[in-house]
Structure 1
Amino acid sequence: MSQLTIVLSIFGINIAYVTIFTLRLILVIKGRRGAASSLAIVEVFIYLSGLQLVLENLSSPVHMLSYCIGFGCGVYMGSRIEEKLALGYSVVQVISDSLHTSLPNKLREHGYGVTVWNGEGRNGPRLIMQVLVKRNNERKLLACIESMAPKAFVVSHEPRHIRGGFWAKLLEK
């Protein structure tokens, strides 16, 4: 096997291994144990194949550099893939600059479940809205909010546990 082939193999194997490792870790965090376990089998096979190749060529700085660069690229690729998959849900909290806004109703017209309550901000009363959305629809929701209420303060985060409410029956499916 030529040196270039070894370097490219180490690089490619490490990208594949670390990409799968990153996705598996995210699946575990999201509670998808079955999918994570299946990925773990593939991950370990690739890892052992790559480890053998790396250990046989450990004395070369070029091979070690190839391993390191492949590792970094694998983390990047895994995170990009997860971003595209957009597994799970997000909670988007919207704080308007006024109590008098039609934003909750407009969001409901677009099919979003919106919970609303009054709050108090630095400069007076505010309307606070909370919207649960599938992560793959979050950007669409944020664009919708931006177009309808460009001055609104918006924060999103991932919930760890969801029970009851508007989404309860949808989540059970």
Structure 2
Amino acid sequence: MTLFTVRMILTLKGLRYVAAFVSMIEVIIYVVGLGLVLDNLNEIQNLIAYAIGYGIGVVAGSLIEEKLALGYITVHVVSTNPDLAFTRKIREKGYGVTSWSSYGMDGDRLSMEILTPRKYELRLYELIQEIDPKAFIISYEPKRIHGGFWVKQVRKGKLMKNKD
């Protein structure tokens, strides 16, 4: 199941050939394991062990995916503070930010669209919360990314250098 989870994520991220290789290993393990269980159906502990292993595999797969943190995340932020210094502070940390003025129920707002590798997502949330603890945050995974500031910054590794 661990490999199944990782394979599905690789497929969704567009890494088809890597996913195909992982699936070959997955099916070998699956057939051998299932064969052992089916050959010994008279012993309930084999079935229980297989079921427990299956469940542990799901958990392990999700933990591995979390550590791999493949892909990018887009974070939409609406701040109650319309000050553009907010945008500047995030840019100084190496994030790509597009900002614009917006208007909410209680007045002027600052809206921002921020793109980051998933492995830096939590660091970005912490930074936003430091600047504006009341900020409204929505995140999602973009399907395609083309052009703009982002490609150059990722190649330079600027985000990795700004750990603090």
TM-score by length of 2: 0.88
2:120 counterpart SS class: helix
Q: Which moved more, 1:59-68 or 1:120-129?
A: 59-68
1:51 equivalent in alignment to 2:49: no
TM superposition outliers: structure 1 runs of 4+ over 6 Å: none
| Correspondence for 1:24 | 7
| Correspondence for 1:132 | 115
Output one character per residue of 1:29-58: Cα deviation in whole Å (capped at 9) or x when no partner.
110011101111111111111111011122
Q: 1-side partners of 2:2 and 2:103: how far apart?
A: 45
Contact 2:73 2:139 in 1 (8 A): yes
Q: Name the count of aligned residue pairs.
A: 156
Q: 1-side partners of 2:71 and 2:32: how far apart?
A: 32
2:68 aligned residue (74, 85, 90): 85
Q: 1-side partners of 2:31 and 2:84: how far apart?
A: 59
- The answer for unaligned runs of 5 or more in structure 1 is 1-17
Q: 2-side partners of 1:152 and 1:108: how far apart?
A: 17
TM-score by length of 1: 0.83
- The answer for unaligned runs of 5 or more in structure 2 is 157-164
Output one character per residue of 1:130-163: Cα deviation in whole Å (capped at 9) or x when no partner.
1100001111111111112111111111111111
Between the aligned residues of both structures, percent identity stands at 47
1:143 equivalent in alignment to 2:126: yes
